[in-house]
Amino acid sequence: DTEVTQTPKHLVMGMTNKKSLKCEQHMGHRAMYWYKQKAKKPPELMFVYSYEKLSINESVPSRFSPECPNSSLLNLHLHALQPEDSALYLCASSQDHASGMYNEQFFGPGTRLTVL
């Protein structure tokens, strides 16, 4: 199985809602990532988990809260978002983040988030 799955595919939420995005991989990868992508822009790294520990937080606002319950799962909890947070949220995984091919990142299909 070489797939990263994400749920839901689409999410519409109000600014006062709390919701969660989910990501799962069964490739035995030990590094997982959250990215945000706006239209016509490249993916922008938000968080990196390595061996289930948060290793990079790219100064993301606290209204985004990541969680890694186990080596296969990654969640992104959302609370009090702003309309400008509307974007495609991508999860990715890699074997780890050592050199070369171990850092090949495979993306899930993404969750398209709209904040009203």
Partner 1 sequence: QKEVEQNSGPLSVPEGAIASLNCTYSDRGSQSFFWYRQYSGKSPELIMSIYSNGDKEDGRFTAQLNKASQYVSLLIRDSQPSDSATYLCAVSNNQGGKLIFGQGTELSVKP
Distance of alpha carbon 35 from alpha carbon 109, whole angstroms: 12
Min dist CB 62 to partner 1, Å, is 21
Backbone angles phi, psi at 105, to 5 degrees: -100, 130
* Cβ-based nearer residue to partner 1, 45 or 80: 45
Tell me if 16 contacts partner 1 by CB under 8 A. no
Min dist CB 47 to partner 1, Å, is 11
- Name residue 74's amino acid: L
- Please check whether residue 81 is in contact with residue 15, taking contact to mean a CB–CB distance below 8 angstroms: yes
Tell me if 106 contacts partner 1 by CB under 8 A. yes
**Per CB under 8 A, which region of 16-24, 43-51, 60-68, 69-77 contacts partner 1?**
43-51
* Cβ-based nearer residue to partner 1, 17 or 50: 50
Half-sphere exposure of 62 (CA within 13 A, CB side): 0
